Amino acid sequence: MKARHILVPTDFSEASLEAVKMAARFVELYDSTVDLIHVIPLMSYYDESMEHLGVPFDMEKDLYPKVLKASNEKMHEIAEKYLPKEHRGQLINLVGRKPSHVIAEQAKNSQYDLIIMANKGKHETKDARSNITEKVIRYSEKPVLSLNKAFDKKGINEILVPVDGSDESATPLAEAFEMALAFDARITLMHIIEPYTLGMEVLPMTIEDDESVYKALIKNIQGYFGKHPELGLSIKSTGTDFEDMMTRKENKKSESVRVVSLVKKGFSAHSEIYDYANENADLVVMSTHGRTGIARVLLGSTTGIVAQHLEKPLLTMRPE
């Protein structure tokens, strides 16, 4: 995985520190440089600042310096505690009306390879991921890894990649392959056949047998790799039903990862994905965009719903 430059948002909560700990593990794996970012919501910024100020006050001299100084001190403490000195990048303090937009824009404009953030921060929510995390996933043009707890090599055995047969859904396979190599894990490809789709009316869909669907998916993945020779990836059968090996050849070196395919029928693609993942997988890697129109899996909308219910780590990517 190309993760040379990582951005980690923090609100200084205990939950958000898990993302910093995860970034420290990426430093070990990928020799990364890690920047921390804290975004102060505009209204909170004013509320917290004016509590400690008398009247009258000068905004430039009194308001901004006090809040940003306190934030910067906290960021230094976190960086010194969790990140090796030679891998510490910038400590970024910004004020913004919508933290999710600020984070996504910072990642876009500063050429980051990855955002790592906690599922939740200070604020409680019934969903698996906070509103801010969910919106960063939605808006970010860069990959986003969101999680509850930092994990190590022993914590990842199965990586789930939902696919719908489109090139867009195949895009995350290169990153999933890198993660599988790093954590000595297998990849599970999951395709959901939805027997009905809701539009102007309920339309029954043609349901093929599982083996035919599986073969079509592998063929599509082979086609995607063929269109992108720079990835150096290929996928070939092991001779066992629904099992393949994904291989990368680079500089006369060959590395392979075991791939198992799972074809399921269900009325709700997103619920099938997060139910299976919460029970079996250790990490889910998904595209934020997929097929449009009447299709077996509408990955774009599915990813957002999966994010609301998935307790396991989620790595999302926007296709080029």
Q: What is the pLDDT of residue 75?
A: 95
Distance CA 320, CA 96 (A): 28
Q: What is the pLDDT of residue 290?
A: 59
Cβ contacts of 180 within 8 Å, gap of 6 or more: 159, 186, 187, 257
Q: What is the pLDDT of residue 10?
A: 96
**Residue that the structure tokens 């200084």 belong to:** 12
Q: What is the pLDDT of residue 120?
A: 92
- State the CB neighbour count (10 A cutoff) for residue 263: 18
Task: Summarize pLDDT for 171-214 with one digit per residue, the tens.
Answer: 999 999 999 999 999 999 999 887 654 443 444 445 568 899 89
Q: In CATH, what number is assigned to the domain containing residue 252? A: 3.40.50.620
**Residue that the structure tokens 């993302």 belong to:** 19
Q: What is the pLDDT of residue 197?
A: 47
Q: What is the pLDDT of residue 191?
A: 92
Q: Please answer whether residues 127 and 134 qualify as being in contact, where contact means their C-beta atoms are separated by less than 8 angstroms.
A: yes
Q: What is the pLDDT of residue 63?
A: 53
The verdict on 130 and 38 lying in the same domain is yes
Q: What is the pLDDT of residue 42?
A: 66
The verdict on 36 and 162 lying in the same domain is no
Q: What is the pLDDT of residue 64?
A: 61
Q: Are strands 5-9 and 114-118 parallel, antiparallel or unpaired?
A: parallel
Q: What is the pLDDT of residue 267?
A: 78
Question: Based on the number of CB atoms within 10 Å of its own CB, is 109 exposed (0-12), middle (13-18) or buried (19 or more)?
Answer: exposed
Q: Please answer whether residues 191 and 218 qualify as being in contact, where contact means their C-beta atoms are separated by less than 8 angstroms.
A: no
Q: What is the pLDDT of residue 203?
A: 40
Last residue of a domain, one of 113, 147, 181: 147
The verdict on 75 and 208 lying in the same domain is no
The verdict on 165 and 230 lying in the same domain is yes
The verdict on 114 and 202 lying in the same domain is no
What's the domain count of the chain? 2
Which range of residues forms the domain containing residue 84?
Answer: 5-147
Last residue of a domain, one of 147, 169, 197: 147
- The torsion angles phi and psi of 297, rounded to 5 degrees, stand at -135, 125
| DSSP 8-state symbol, 86 | G
pTM: 0.87
Low-confidence ranges of the chain (pLDDT < 70): 1, 42-65, 195-208, 289-300
